[in-house]
Amino acid sequence: MAEGEEEVNYASVVFKAGNNPQPAAKRGEETVYGELKVQNETKNEAKRGEETVYGEVEAQNETKNEDSAGRRRFQHLSCCLGILCVILLGGIIGVCVYLPTLSHESDPIQLEEVSTLLANNKKLSLENANLKRDNQNLTDQLGNLTEAYTVSESNVKSLSAGVKELTTRNQELETEKKNLKQQIQNMETTWNELNVSRAQWSIDEYCKQPGNQTCKACQDGWKHTESGCYVYNDAHLPNQKTWEEAQEDCRGKNSDLAVAHHLEEKEAIITNSLGSNGFWIGLRVEDGKWKWVDGSNLSDSWISVPDPVEGRCALFYKDKNKWSSVSCEEKHQWICQKKALSV
C-alpha cells in the first residue's frame, strides 16, 4: 500500500422494525439492502479507480508533495460526505417502508373513530350550510319586514293626517250645522211673522172694505164662483205674456194659472172668459205628459187630447169652447185662480 493511503472499511446497514414485519415489508427491506450493497460495490470500484488514479498522479507528481497532501485531505472529506449521504438515504427508505406498515397495523378502533369523526365533520358541514341558508333567509325576511314597517309607518302618518283633517272637517260641519239650525229657527220665525202679516193682509183685503161691515170671499177685482176666485187678464199686445211669464204674474198675486179638475172650474173658465185670442191656463207638457200646475196629471180632456210634445202649453179659446196645444213661447192673455175666503 502506498504511503499516505488509508484503509476504508465498508459496512452493510440493515433497518428492522420493532415488530415482526409482514412479508411485503420484509421484501422491501431486502430490496433496500440490495440497493445499498450495490451502491457500496459501486463506491468500492470508484474508490479503487481513485486509488489507481491517485497512484499514477503520485508517480507523476512526486516532486509536488504539498499538492498531493491537499488532494488526499479532499478525498477523505469526499468519502465522509458520501458515507453520510448513503446513511441518510437508507434512513429515508426505512422510514418510507416502516410508515405503511404502521398504517396497516393501526388499531381498528382508531380507524372507526376516524371514520366517525369524518362522518360528524360531514354532518356538521351540512348543518353549517343549512344554518347559513337559514341565516340568509332570516336576513331577507328582516329586510322585508323592515320595508313593510317603513311602509306601515308612512301609512300611519298618512292616516293620522287624514284623521286630523277629518276631525277639522267634522268641526267645520258641526259649526255649519249650528249655523243651519240658527238659520232654520230664523226662517221659522220669519215664516210665522209672514203668516201673521198675511193674515193681517187678508183681513185688510177681504174685510176692511169701505161701507161694508162683513168680509168678502174674494178681493176687489176678482170674480167669485163656487170653485174660487178668478181674474181674467185680457191684456193686449205688447202687454201679453208667455206661459212662464203669465204663471209668474199669477204667483205675484198669490195665485196660479187656472186649473179645471171638475165641472164647476170648467164652467167658471168658460163663463167669465173674454175675447177670442185665447187665454193661458195652468196646463203644459212635462216629462212627456200633460200636467196641471198643481202637479196632477190631466185626467179629463174636455173635448180632445193633443199629443204631448215637450215645450207645448194649453191655450183656452172661449168661442171654440176648447183648449189647444201651442208653443209655450207664444204671447197671449191669461187667467189666474186662487181659493176663496170662507166667510
Sign of CA dihedral 311, 312, 314, 316: positive
> Which carries the bigger pLDDT value, residue 50 or residue 69?
69
pLDDT, residue 203, reads 64
Q: Which helix (H) or strand (E) holds 315?
A: strand 312-317
pLDDT, residue 56, reads 52
CB-based contact 316:278 (threshold 8 Å): yes
Provide the mean pLDDT of the chain: 76
Average pLDDT of span 38-65: 54
Closest CA relative to residue 330, chosen from 234, 242, 250: 242
Average pLDDT of span 55-66: 52
The answer to whether residue 337 scores a pLDDT higher than 60 is yes
Residue in this structure with the C-alpha cell 469526499, named with its chain if needed: 78
Average pLDDT of span 10-21: 43
Instruction: Write down the pTM of the prediction.
Output: 0.42
The answer to whether residue 320 scores a pLDDT higher than 80 is no
The answer to whether residue 145 scores a pLDDT higher than 80 is yes
Closest CA relative to residue 280, chosen from 253, 240, 308, 320: 240
pLDDT, residue 7, reads 43
Share of the chain above pLDDT 70, in %: 65
CB-based contact 337:259 (threshold 8 Å): yes
Q: Which residues contact 202 (CB under 8 A, 6 or more apart)?
A: 341
Cell digits for 38? 450495490
CB-based contact 32:15 (threshold 8 Å): yes
The answer to whether residue 44 scores a pLDDT higher than 90 is no
CA–chain centroid gap for 323, Å, is 68
Q: Which residues contact 285 (CB under 8 A, 6 or more apart)?
A: 291, 308, 309, 310, 311, 312, 313, 325
Q: How confident is the model at residue 22 (pLDDT cuts 50, 70, 90)?
A: very low
Buried b (16+ CB within 10 A) or exposed e, 128-165: eeeeeeeeeeeeeeeeeeeeeeeeeeeeeeeeeeeeee
Q: How many CB atoms lie within 10 A of CB 194?
A: 12
Return the half-sphere exposure (C-beta side, CA atoms, 13 A cut-off) of residue 27. Answer: 3
The answer to whether residue 30 scores a pLDDT higher than 60 is no
Cell digits for 227? 170653485
Q: How many CB atoms lie within 10 A of CB 196?
A: 10
If DSSP codes are grouped into helix, strand and coil, which group holds residue 111?
helix
Q: Which stretch of 21-35, 57-71, 221-235, 270-284 has the lowest confidence by average pLDDT?
A: 21-35
Q: How confident is the model at residue 188 (pLDDT cuts 50, 70, 90)?
A: confident
Share of the chain above pLDDT 90, in %: 24
> Which carries the bigger pLDDT value, residue 208 or residue 17?
208
> Which carries the bigger pLDDT value, residue 156 or residue 8?
156
**Pairwise CA distance, residues 175 & 135, whole Å:** 59
Residue in this structure with the C-alpha cell 195652468, named with its chain if needed: 282
- The pLDDT tens digits for 75-127 are 777 778 778 878 888 777 776 665 555 555 557 888 888 888 888 888 888 98
With vertex at residue 63, the alpha carbon angle to CA 60 and CA 68, rounded to the nearest 5 degrees, is 75
The answer to whether residue 205 scores a pLDDT higher than 70 is no
- The pLDDT tens digits for 228-285 are 889 888 888 888 999 999 999 999 888 999 998 888 888 888 776 666 678 999 999 9
